[in-house]
Structure 1
Amino acid sequence: MSKFTKKKSGELPPVNTASLPDIVFMLLFFFMVVTVLRNNNLLVKNELPKADQVEKLKKDRSVYIFAGKPSARYADKYGKEGKIQIGDKYTDVSNVKFALTEARQKLLPELQDKVMVALKVDKETNTGLVTDIKQELRDLNMLKLIYIAAPGTEIGK
């Protein structure tokens, strides 16, 4: 005759954690791929003027110049006059040539001669500052210039 035994206890079996490292690495890779890193920390106020004909710009051969008054958190330190920002630093009009030459060197060698300068100018910036920037660009023979604007039309002015 056979002997029947009862279960020892009603406990649940332990959770299988063998696939846990795979799930963690899959999430890690997902967030690494999806995350966008900021290139520039914007130091100037940058409310762009509106334009009705806007095109997308390829970022691989462009250098961005931001111009405008310092943003609210930097106004106490740098004043309220219009400033020029290239990369993450303020620069003076006299140093624009050096900063643009440095930014041009960071591009791929085959694109350095075809560089396009993109001006992101606040709509309340003085025209004299923009004219000074354009004069420095002429001296560097960087004649391909793009003005960045927000899509839409200006209403009520």
Structure 2
Amino acid sequence: MSTHFKKKSKTSQEIPTASMPDIIFMLLIFFMVSTVLRETTVQVRTRLPQAEAITKIEQKRLISYIWIGPRKLANNRLGETAVQIDDALIEDISTIRTIMWRKLNEQPKLIVSLRVDETSEMGTVLDVQQELREAGTLRINYSTKRLLAS
């Protein structure tokens, strides 16, 4: 038999993977930098009021949220009006001043976004506003929903 018809191939059919760790590392860094994780479990109900003219804040990292509304209880019941910052319910309104002063020192361009339930007591909202004023956090935003066209 002749060796003339035997095919000897020295080419490899493998995919080059030398740069794969670099690509994976770049993708990992990209997603770590661009992803914002939700850290807060809201313990108060907030049905936001509607408004006609609203402006969206682009820089979400500069915002600190304060929720004001009836406290969520077991069996879908609601309690008294409560204030929540991050994951903690605030028992004493005067502690808001200290908490927000510390946050303002960490982030000088801090915007405080009040998410107030439409059935909340206005006295509580005024107390929170006064504590924010005392803390020097004067950039305040009131969160609303866009008014639906009828």
* TM-score, normalised by the number of residues in structure 1: 0.67
- Residue 102 to residue 60, structure 1, CA distance change in 2 (3 Å): same
Secondary structure of residue in 1 paired with 2:41: coil
Identity rate, percent: 34
Task: Kindly state the Cα deviation for residue 68 of structure 1 after the two structures are TM-superposed.
Answer: 1.1
Matching residue's letter, 1:105: N
1:154, 1:142 → 2: CA distance?
34
- Residue 21 to residue 136, structure 1, CA distance change in 2 (3 Å): closer
1:128 aligns with 2:111: no
8 Å contact 1:63–1:104 — kept in the other structure? no
* Structure-2 residue corresponding to 1:70: 71
Greater mean alpha carbon deviation, residues 146-155 or residues 115-124: 146-155
Superposition CA RMSD, Å: 3.3
1:68, 1:102 → 2: CA distance?
24
- Residue 35 to residue 6, structure 1, CA distance change in 2 (3 Å): same
Structure 2: tracts of 5 or more residues without a match: none
Give the structure with the higher percent strand. 2
- Where does 1:1-157 land on structure 2 (aligned, <5 Å)? 3-7=3-7, 13-18=12-17, 19-38=19-38, 40-57=40-57, 59=60, 62-71=63-72, 75-76=73-74, 80-92=79-91, 93-108=93-108, 111=109, 116-140=111-135, 142-153=137-148
8 Å contact 2:48–2:117 — kept in the other structure? yes
Secondary structure of residue in 2 paired with 1:83: strand
8 Å contact 2:51–2:147 — kept in the other structure? yes
Structure 1: tracts of 5 or more residues without a match: none
8 Å contact 2:101–2:136 — kept in the other structure? no
